[in-house]
Amino acid sequence: MKEREPLVAGGLVALLLVLWLGFLVHRDPRFAGSGWGGALGVVGALLLVVSLAYWPVKRVRVVKAWVTRRVSMRTALAWHMYAGLAGAVLGLLHTGHKFDSPLGVALTATMLVVVLSGYVGRHLMKQISLEVSEKKELLTGLEVAYRQTAGELAASPAESALVRPWSAFWGRLAAALMHRFPRSARPPASVRAMELAEAMADLEYAIRTHETFRWWFGFWFRVHVVASVLMYLLLALHVWAGIHYGLRWFA
């Protein structure tokens, strides 16, 4: 299930976006107040409430300790994600693609923002973090190899002097073209040092780029939190309005 999680979540997000675009071809002004429409709305709202339960599990120490004795935080996060996605899909079906009410439009819009920001934060940021970890591990290995090669150069001052003319960018480019060795031959320490330094510089640049993306995805997480608070406030107001003005599917 762990391996299929990105595929399942991505499929639910795609379904949600396709259902949202359904208002271009279908509108039923009475469906939200019908028996089926009301049932979808109630179940969708309950699933969103189940998804909300993840926040005290994550933030309140006593609740977290009680829950983690029974299930892992990864399982709790999966329930949070799937309940939120399923609740959003049912909530969108509940609308019947009728977006005439300002409250309904605002609730639908914030729900889509919550789903998209949560998906970005959960899966894309996770992928970037994994790539950063892999690159840092590879960089550590290159640094060890570079220190060994630097030790060889220090033991051979004549070969170390060969590296200095090629230290600039164009010099390194020329060295890469001029120093060609058969696959079976081991390049001298001077050439290996330049190749390792070039590879380390590329990896450090890639890590900095990924860290920048991680910062931006952290901003998406803040958007997710703010949009979630707004969505639940609008959901509570929507439920109150439905009860206040009469639940037509009970008539």
CB-based contacts of 63: which residues, under 8 Å, 6+ apart? 56, 57
203 and 231, same domain (yes or no): no
pLDDT above 70: percentage of residues in the chain = 78
222 and 147, same domain (yes or no): no
Domain assignment of residue 213, yes or no: no
Total residue count of the chain as it appears in this document: 251
82 and 140, same domain (yes or no): no
Domain assignment of residue 42, yes or no: yes
Q: Which of 75-84, 151-160, 176-185 has the lowest mean pLDDT?
A: 176-185
Residue 190 burial (10 A CB sphere; 0-12, 13-18, 19+): buried
Asked if residue 93 lies in contact with residue 214, where contact means CB atoms within 8 angstroms, the answer is no
122 and 13, same domain (yes or no): yes
- How do residues 12-22 score in pLDDT, each as one tens digit? 888 888 887 77
Residue 169 has pLDDT above 60, yes or no: no
70 and 27, same domain (yes or no): yes
48 and 92, same domain (yes or no): yes
Rg, Å, the chain Cα set? 28
- How do residues 56-110 score in pLDDT, each as one tens digit? 988 888 988 898 888 888 888 888 889 999 999 998 888 887 777 788 889 988 9
Q: Inter-axis angle of helices 73-95 and 61-68, to 10 degrees?
A: 100
Question: pLDDT value at position 174?
Answer: 43
The number of domains in the chain is 2
184 and 96, same domain (yes or no): no
Q: What does the alpha-carbon distance between residue 29 and residue 99 come to, in Å, rounded to a whole number?
A: 9
Nearest to 60 by CA among 79, 52, 229, 218: 52
49 and 114, same domain (yes or no): yes
60 and 30, same domain (yes or no): yes
pTM summary value: 0.65
- How do residues 28-38 score in pLDDT, each as one tens digit? 777 777 788 88
**More confidently predicted of 158 and 39:** 39
Residue 196 has pLDDT above 50, yes or no: yes
- How do residues 210-238 score in pLDDT, each as one tens digit? 777 777 776 777 888 899 999 999 999 98
17 and 117, same domain (yes or no): yes
Domain assignment of residue 116, yes or no: yes
| DSSP label at residue 184 | T
Residue 172 has pLDDT above 70, yes or no: no
Task: Kindly report the backbone phi and psi dihedral angles of residue 223, in degrees, each rounded to the nearest multiple of 5, phi listed first.
Answer: -60, -40
109 and 16, same domain (yes or no): yes
114 and 152, same domain (yes or no): no
Q: Inter-axis angle of helices 73-95 and 5-20, to 10 degrees?
A: 20
Domain that holds residue 107: 5-127+218-250
